[in-house]
Amino acid sequence: MPQAEGGYVSLPAVNGNGSAIYQSTTEPSAPPSVFESVKRVIGQAIKSTPGDSEELLRSERQPVIVGGVRLSFRDRDKTGKTLNTKMPSAPTHTAEEAHLLGTMPVDPMDDIELRSVQLHFPNARGSILEACDQRRVPTDKGDIHVAIQGDTSKPAIVTYHDLGLNYATSFAGFFNFPVMRGLLENFCVYHVTAPGQEEGAPALPEDYVYPTMDELAAQLLFVLSHFGLKSVIGFGVGAGANILARFAHGHPDKVGALCLINCVSTQSGWIEWGYQSFNARFLRTKGMTQGVIDYLMWHHFGRNPEERNHDLVQMYKQHFERAVNPTNLAMLINAYIHRNDLHLARTPPGTPGTETAATTLKMPVINITGSLSPHVDDTVTFNGRLDPTNSSWMKISDCALVLEEQPAKLAEAFRLFLQGEGYVLFLKNPDRDCEQSWSCLQNPPPREA
């Protein structure tokens, strides 16, 4: 066996006897160093006492003084082998992982080439304030705030908000959705805000008698007369849906169609009346308390909303805490819980002594709710009072506040609803960079086989 420095050589015959059998035992040719001796002792100790191996391995991290020389040891496993403690520069993929991923093993630190950038319009909530023309419309119960969005020469859509919100917080995100921005090219939207509910509104006078739900619905007559509107399309949410339904029932010639979300057609029950009565009292005496905020969040989002959209929930909580006048909101809540029944009934055709047009809504109605909304049962009751020939009920999955959580599905439903009412509108197709009618978009030509 060749001999080299630090290598190994065969031992000579035992006791110089040349006829002795050759011994294959080897030993290092170089003199043993202090480091090698200490390493051998530690290795034997690890093999002999496995129970103390972890303690010895931990102690190897500390430097040891041997013969006046300071020695430090690297991490070793239970067999005495040196562990690789270097931090990897980048994650590596095995051949099996690469096969499962359907790709060949590549260097994870390769450069990434940006091939294309696609721009999307952000859903800026504040942009609706700048795009709207703010007006004050006088009524018999005081002035109300109306924001006009779009060309006034186009067909009119009248919106009405829910409790604790106003036109900006309720409809800004939805009407800034890309599909709905195209709708604004074909319609003019009139956002009506209940008295004292607009952003930064001062407290109403103490002697002010807040309108009832029927009087709030009657105020819409002043809005239509002020802007010269003969017929409108109603779009309401919650309390606003109830107000629009009242207006449509009393003035069917003024409303061409209704899109109502989470509409309640009955009077308030005992549980709702009790909770909301306490909320109105706290709002007058203590302001916006945590209990009131929790009830408003449940009213809009149902149970456990933070599990679905934490940022959206925090934004609404901040709005309730900072931007809502508690005294004015208490008046609106008090009017809502003292509402009377809409007195709608689905009358079977041919029933003697009755007229269907007088007992239910005669215009087309799309009744929408979210699967997680606390008002699902109320919408089912409302749907049972409508004429099935001109109404439809729709429940959108995985949401409670449909306008914010599922705007795409709601926009598509609203598009098809208007198309069914004869509004053939022209929208810009971003894929083809051209204009097509909604009927063309919804009924594309057949594809060739």
Quick check: is 42 in a domain?
no
Give the pLDDT band (50/70/90) at residue 75.
low
Q: Which of 117-131, 185-199, 232-246, 262-276 has the highest mean pLDDT?
A: 232-246
3-class secondary-structure state, position 240? helix
On the question of pLDDT at 194 being above 90, the answer is yes
Question: How far is residue 389's CA from residue 336's CA, in Å, rounded to a whole number?
Answer: 30
Report residue 355 CA to chain centroid gap: 44
The CATH number assigned to the domain holding 157 equals 3.40.50.1820
On the question of pLDDT at 389 being above 80, the answer is yes
How large is the average pLDDT for residues 197-213? 90
Predicted local confidence at residue 36, as pLDDT: 72
Question: How far is residue 169's CA from residue 183's CA, in Å, rounded to a whole number?
Answer: 19
How large is the average pLDDT for residues 279-284? 92
Quick check: is 449 in a domain?
no
| Residue range of the domain that includes 357 | 125-267+342-421
CB contact set of 174 (below 8 Å; sequence gap of 6+):
180, 403, 404, 407, 410, 411
Quick check: is 275 in a domain?
no
Question: How far is residue 53's CA from residue 132's CA, in Å, rounded to a whole number?
Answer: 76
Predicted local confidence at residue 82, as pLDDT: 57
How large is the average pLDDT for residues 146-173? 92
3-class secondary-structure state, position 392? strand
Give the pLDDT band (50/70/90) at residue 443.
very low
Mean pLDDT check: name the lowest of 58-72, 117-131, 400-414.
58-72
On the question of pLDDT at 103 being above 70, the answer is no
How large is the average pLDDT for residues 63-90? 53
Which DSSP symbol is given to 353? Answer: T
Mean pLDDT check: name the lowest of 25-34, 289-298, 401-410.
25-34
Mean pLDDT check: name the lowest of 70-84, 258-272, 326-340.
70-84
Spatial CA neighbour of 170 closest among 254, 257, 262:
262
Quick check: is 321 in a domain?
no
Question: How far is residue 210's CA from residue 215's CA, in Å, rounded to a whole number?
Answer: 9
Question: How far is residue 284's CA from residue 314's CA, in Å, rounded to a whole number?
Answer: 24
Burial zone of 94 (CB within 10 Å; 0-12 exposed, 13-18 middle, 19+ buried):
exposed
For residues 394 and 432, the model is more confident at 394
3-class secondary-structure state, position 446? coil
Predicted local confidence at residue 448, as pLDDT: 36
pLDDT in tens, 341-354: 998 988 765 566 55
Q: Sign of the CA dihedral 377, 381, 386, 389?
A: positive
Quick check: is 394 in a domain?
yes
Angle, CA of 433, 434 and 436, to the nearest 5°: 135
pLDDT in tens, 319-377: 999 899 999 999 999 999 999 999 898 876 556 655 544 578 999 999 999 999 999 99
For residues 71 and 249, the model is more confident at 249
Predicted local confidence at residue 200, as pLDDT: 83
* Domain count of the fold of the chain: 1
Q: What percent of the chain has pLDDT over 90?
A: 49
**Contact status, residue 246 vs residue 254, Cβ threshold 8 Å:** no
Given the DSSP bridges, would you call strands 365-370 and 255-261 parallel, antiparallel or unpaired?
Answer: parallel
Quick check: is 323 in a domain?
no
| Predicted model pTM | 0.68
Give the pLDDT band (50/70/90) at residue 128.
low
On the question of pLDDT at 439 being above 50, the answer is no
Which DSSP symbol is given to 144? Answer: E
Phi, psi of 79 (to 5 degrees): -90, 0
- Continuous segment of H or E residues that includes residue 414: helix 407-420
Q: Sign of the CA dihedral 260, 265, 267, 271?
A: negative
3-state secondary structure 71-120: ECCCCECCCCCECCCCCCCCCCCCHHHHHHHCCCCCCCCCCCCCCCCCCC
Length of the chain: 449
Predicted local confidence at residue 316, as pLDDT: 94
3-state secondary structure 265-324: CCCCCHHHHHHHHHHHHHHHHCCCCHHHHHHHHHHHHCCCHHHCCHHHHHHHHHHHHHCC
Phi, psi of 312 (to 5 degrees): -65, -40
Give the pLDDT band (50/70/90) at residue 391.
very high
Predicted local confidence at residue 446, as pLDDT: 37
**Contact status, residue 42 vs residue 81, Cβ threshold 8 Å:** no
Quick check: is 282 in a domain?
no
Predicted local confidence at residue 442, as pLDDT: 35
Predicted local confidence at residue 233, as pLDDT: 96
Quick check: is 208 in a domain?
yes
On the question of pLDDT at 274 being above 50, the answer is yes
Predicted local confidence at residue 421, as pLDDT: 85
What proportions of the chain, in percent to the nearest 5, are helix, strand and coil? 40, 15, 45
For residues 293 and 449, the model is more confident at 293
**Contact status, residue 192 vs residue 159, Cβ threshold 8 Å:** yes
- Continuous segment of H or E residues that includes residue 160: strand 156-160
pLDDT in tens, 4-20: 454 545 555 545 555 44
